[in-house]
């Protein structure tokens, strides 16, 4: 940059060198959309949407492309702001070559232009003689002259505002325009020059507004108009009027004030969500002021969870604690643009008085509900669940509890948990749904039940399970353990079976019953607890099994590293699908001896069966521990130099068998019917590999077992090169197919190679 003409941060001119050495004048750009109060929950999405639309806009304006990376979008409850520190005063002049009709169509044999050439030239205001011929086609060279940036933005900003999307929008007049809340003013400046346009009934200009209350303390909401002289000075102008328009600045201001309060009082703020608490509060205010207040100490008899929920979720207060114990004090983040402007002392006193009055009313209700609920034994509430509808086609909550209880009792031994204790915990798990407290605060279901159970002297582990069986609620929350895990899995499995059973499967993004969350919850718990349990012992509907299988595959791909995959490595979903489609004969992990699976029935092994691929019928995913162990081993295969050849060879085995359907097993492979050296060599290598695999799996060494299977590839290739499977002698033909069948069954104990694309290169590079 050379020859500064001012400071771009203040909106005056900057001069940059153009491509041909000419000066390019740069100025700041501002767009402020002023409106009525935007809900705090909508602001982050609105800012992101405006930024995406702005990137599209400036990427499409010649000469403005470099400004795209400097786009800054911010805002507050009353304004959404787009700011660029530097934008050229003019667009860049550019030329382009437009392809027209073929030369043979555009000109006759004498070289004269035809109607096609004349019409094409006329489209661009050119004479036919100005057309160029390149590569057998006519081309028109069009020059787009530079235009004032103000003119371009005047034409395009209305569409930019239209492009901002919201979860909900509204109309407020007959202009047809929609926005999250009624738009009351628009400021648009390029440097010091206003960009004047109309959007609906609003005409843009340079006048912004801030909220004020009359000095006499009157309650009506007034707006004070403030003129913004330059785009670069916008934030300073609003800051001078007491408004922090930048949400990042408000976040920093709140964080600083909270830290000062903690240091001053010795209390510590209880953050309900460490990452978003302050950001959410910042989107409620334009001029944050952090004020300490208190409530009656008598309310501390209410369970802490209820107090915190009431303060944060309902009132957006920050609870305070000392040495881990909640105290009867809280912080309010107030908006200084409200209230009496005569003195800060009066403002703070009014905030404390008003918020204490509001909170006291809420806490009085909570205290009454708690004292009433705790009087009645939790067990006595369970019959009341028969009168609570779970889902109109799925019976009552009482019926659901009985199903959960039976399932929890049945699966408990697999977790090493006492079945009777699991039955009792499941029986009480939903009892608090009939309490006044949960009716008023639905978010506290489980929490209230646990607190009542503890108050009534119940077993601590059962009390914990009443609360924890709802988890895990998100990717980062703790996974239930022990007894809580048993009840959680039973609860989620019943939810899936019941809701799928009445035909309410998730569609698209709609999942009102949280079935995806339930499936992921089961998967996370089974991976964490490693119980002696299969998915098929939890659910029976084919649609639920397919749903669980799909969720399982996506989960292991997305969380591969934390599941024990190579650090920094990735897992391709085709590999996961191949392992999930396996037909294992024995579990390769577990406590004590390997257990035989139910995947390949004994009679099928003896009499012959449908062979080739397991497809979606394969149960390689059914045992979570076994699936994960085989998946870890299989994830290493793409690193082999011969991986593509291995997939091609093993797929060929499966494809031949698939065409044959069922192969009669008879007495098995007869070595006496073998005449070709290649088939004898393959048979020998197969038996050696089979023995080695059994030995390795007994020692839980899945990696070396699968390597032994993969090392069969050269012998398989030699067999296909030298041996004709469909021999003329039917006995020899059947014997060779039995050999391939044995090979395929060995492959399928680990994974179904036919599920991997024939072009395995993409998988190996994943």
Residue range(s) defining the domain that contains residue 176 = 8-91+148-240
Q: Give the closest residue to 463 by CA, choosing from 418, 428, 417, 487.
A: 428
User: How many domains does the chain divide into?
Assistant: 5
Same domain, 695 and 676: yes
In this predicted model, what pLDDT tens digit does every residue of 154-179 receive, in sequence order?
Answer: 999 999 999 999 999 999 999 999 99
User: Residue 567: inside a domain, yes or no?
Assistant: no
Which own/partner contact pairs does 149-156 have at CB distance under 8 Å and 24+ positions apart?
149/61, 149/64, 149/87, 149/88, 149/89, 149/90, 149/91, 149/190, 150/89, 150/190, 150/193, 150/195, 152/61, 152/91, 153/29, 153/188, 153/190, 153/195, 154/195, 154/196, 154/197, 155/197, 156/57, 156/61
pTM of the model: 0.73
- Residue 640 domain-assigned (yes or no): yes
Over residues 135-142, the mean pLDDT reads 90
Mean pLDDT, the chain, integer: 87
- Residue 568 maps to a domain: no
The pLDDT value given to residue 589: 53
pLDDT per position as a tens digit, 705-760: 999 999 999 999 999 999 998 889 989 998 999 999 999 989 888 889 888 876 65
Residue 236 pLDDT greater than 70, yes or no: yes
Residues 239-282: tens digit of each pLDDT: 998 899 999 999 999 999 999 999 999 999 998 765 578 888 99
User: Which range is least confidently modeled, 140-144, 334-338, 415-419?
Assistant: 334-338
Q: How far apart are CA 576 and CA 552, in angstroms?
A: 9
- Pair (536, 598) in one structural domain: no
The verdict on 515 and 614 lying in the same domain is no
- pLDDT for 613: 38
In a shared domain, residues 532 and 594 = no
70 and 218 both lie in a single domain: yes
Question: Is position 554 within any domain?
Answer: no
| Backbone phi and psi for residue 589, each to the nearest 5 degrees, phi listed first | -140, 170
The length of the chain in residues reads: 766
86 and 132 share one domain = no
**pLDDT of 476:** 65
Amino acid 712: pLDDT? 92
User: How far apart are the C-alpha atoms of 196 and 179, rounded to whole Å?
Assistant: 20
402 and 341 within one domain: no
Q: Is 662 exposed, middle or buried (0-12, 13-18, 19+ CB in 10 A)?
A: middle
Does some domain include residue 379?
no
DSSP for residue 41: T
| Percentage of residues in the chain having pLDDT higher than 70 | 88
Single out the residue of 717, 572, 730 nearest to residue 639, CA to CA: 572
Residue 667 and residue 652: Cα distance in Å, rounded?
24
Give the whole-angstrom CA distance, residue 467 versus residue 448.
8
Please report which helix (H) or strand (E) contains residue 207, including its range.
strand 207-213
What per-residue confidence (pLDDT) applies to 211? 75
Higher confidence at residue 108 or residue 144? Answer: 108
Residue 574 lies in a domain: no
Give the CATH number for residue 443: 1.10.3210
Where does the pLDDT of residue 440 fall: very low under 50, low under 70, confident under 90, or very high at 90 and above?
confident
Whether the pLDDT of residue 215 is over 60: the answer is no
Would residue 99 count as lying in a domain? yes
Same domain, 47 and 184: yes
Torsion of CA 670, 673, 679, 683, to 10 degrees: 20
Whether residue 664 is found in the same domain as residue 610 = yes
Domain boundary among 343, 373, 403: 373
* Residue 569 banded pLDDT, cuts 50, 70, 90: confident
Q: Which of 240, 268, 286 is the last residue of a domain?
A: 240
- 265 with 300, same domain: the answer is yes
- Full DSSP string of 59-106: HTSTTTGGGGGG-EEEEETTEEEEEEEEEESBPPPEEEEEEEEEHHHH
Q: Same domain for 528 and 662? A: no
Average pLDDT over residues 403-414: 97
pLDDT at 423: 97
Whether residue 85 sits in one domain with residue 135: no
Q: Which of 373, 404, 434 is the last residue of a domain?
A: 373
Residue 380 lies in a domain: no
- Distance, C-alpha 606 to centroid of its chain: 47
Sequence-distant (≥ 6) Cβ neighbours of residue 431 within 8 angstroms: 378, 379, 381, 382, 385, 449, 466
3-state secondary structure of 221: strand
Q: Are residues 467 and 418 in contact, defined by beta-carbon separation less than 8 angstroms?
A: no
- For the segment 676-695, the average pLDDT, to the nearest whole number, is 93
């Amino acid at each position: 940059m050379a020859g500064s003409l001012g400071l771009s941060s203040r909106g005056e001119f900057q001069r940059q060198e153009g491509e041909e050495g000419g000066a390019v004048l740069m100025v700041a750009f501002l767009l402020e959309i002023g409106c009525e109060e935007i809900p705090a929950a909508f602001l982050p999405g609105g800012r992101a949407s405006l930024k995406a639309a702005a990137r599209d806009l400036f990427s499409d304006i010649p000469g403005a492309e470099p400004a795209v990376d400097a786009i800054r979008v911010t805002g507050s409850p009353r304004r959404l702001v787009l700011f660029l520190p530097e934008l050229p005063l003019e667009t860049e002049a550019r030329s382009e070559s437009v392809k027209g009709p073929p030369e043979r169509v555009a000109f006759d044999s004498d070289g004269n232009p035809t109607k096609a050439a004349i019409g094409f030239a006329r489209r661009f205001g050119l004479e036919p003689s100005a057309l160029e011929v390149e590569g057998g086609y006519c081309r028109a060279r069009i020059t787009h002259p530079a235009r004032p940036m103000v003119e371009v933005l005047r034409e395009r900003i209305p569409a930019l505002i239209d492009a901002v999307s919201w979860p909900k929008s509204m109309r407020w007049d007959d202009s047809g325009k929609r926005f999250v809340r009624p738009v009351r003013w628009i400021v648009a400046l390029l440097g010091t020059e206003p960009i004047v346009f109309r959007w609906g009934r609003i005409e843009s200009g340079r006048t912004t507004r801030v909220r004020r209350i009359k000095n006499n303390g009157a309650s009506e909401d007034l707006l004070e108009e403030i003129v913004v002289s330059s785009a670069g000075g916008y934030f300073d102008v609003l800051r001078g009027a007491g408004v922090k328009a930048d949400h990042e600045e408000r976040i920093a201001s709140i964080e600083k004030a909270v830290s000062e309060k903690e240091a001053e009082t010795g209390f510590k703020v209880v953050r309900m969500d460490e990452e978003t608490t302050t950001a959410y509060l910042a989107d409620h205010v334009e001029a944050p002021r952090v004020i300490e207040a208190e409530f009656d100490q008598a309310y501390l008899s209410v369970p802490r969870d209820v107090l915190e929920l009431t303060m944060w979720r309902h009132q957006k207060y920050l609870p305070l604690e000392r040495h881990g114990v909640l105290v009867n004090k809280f912080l309010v983040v107030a908006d200084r643009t409200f209230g009496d402007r005569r003195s800060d002392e009066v403002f703070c006193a009014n905030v404390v008085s008003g918020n204490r009055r509001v909170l006291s009313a809420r806490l009085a209700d909570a205290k009454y509900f708690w004292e009433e609920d705790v009087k009645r034994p939790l067990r006595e509430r369970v019959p009341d669940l028969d009168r609570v509808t779970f889902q109109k086609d799925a019976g009552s909550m009482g019926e659901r509890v009985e199903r959960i209880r039976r399932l929890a009792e049945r699966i408990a031994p697999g977790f090493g948990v006492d079945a009777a204790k699991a039955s009792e915990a499941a029986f009480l798990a939903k009892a608090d749904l009939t309490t006044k407290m949960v009716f008023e605060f639905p978010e506290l279901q489980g929490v209230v039940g646990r607190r009542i159970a503890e108050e009534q002297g119940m077993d601590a582990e059962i009390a914990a399970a009443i609360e924890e069986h709802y988890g895990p609620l998100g990717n980062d929350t703790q996974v239930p353990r022990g007894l809580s895990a048993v009840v959680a899995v039973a609860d989620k499995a019943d939810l899936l079976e019941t809701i799928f059973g009445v035909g309410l499967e998730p569609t698209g993004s709609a999942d009102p019953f949280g079935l995806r969350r339930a499936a992921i919850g089961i998967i996370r718990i089974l991976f964490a607890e490693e119980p002696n349990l299969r998915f098929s012992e939890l659910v029976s509907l084919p649609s639920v099994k397919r749903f669980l299988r799909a969720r399982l595959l996506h989960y292991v791909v997305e969380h591969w590293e934390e599941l024990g995959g190579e650090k920094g490595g990735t897992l391709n979903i085709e590999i996961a699908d191949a392992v999930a489609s396996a037909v294992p004969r024995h579990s390769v992990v577990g406590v004590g001896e390997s257990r035989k699976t139910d995947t390949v029935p004994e009679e099928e092994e003896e009499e012959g069966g449908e062979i080739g691929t397991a497809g979606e019928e394969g149960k390689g995913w059914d045992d979570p521990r076994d699936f994960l162990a085989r998946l870890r081993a299989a994830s290493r295969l793409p690193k082999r130099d011969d991986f593509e050849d291995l997939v091609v060879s093993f797929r060929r085995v499966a494809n031949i068998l698939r065409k044959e359907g069922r192969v009669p097993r008879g007495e098995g492979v007869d070595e006496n019917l073998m005449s070709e050296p290649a088939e004898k060599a393959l048979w020998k290598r197969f038996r050696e590999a089979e023995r080695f695999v059994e030995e390795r799996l007994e020692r839980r060494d899945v990696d070396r077992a699968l390597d032994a299977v993969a090392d069969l590839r050269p012998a398989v290739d030699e067999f296909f090169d030298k041996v004709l499977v469909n021999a003329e002698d039917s006995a020899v033909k059947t014997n060779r197919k039995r050999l391939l069948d044995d090979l395929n069954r060995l492959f399928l104990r680990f994974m179904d190679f036919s599920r991997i694309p024939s072009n395995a290169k993409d998988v190996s590079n994943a």
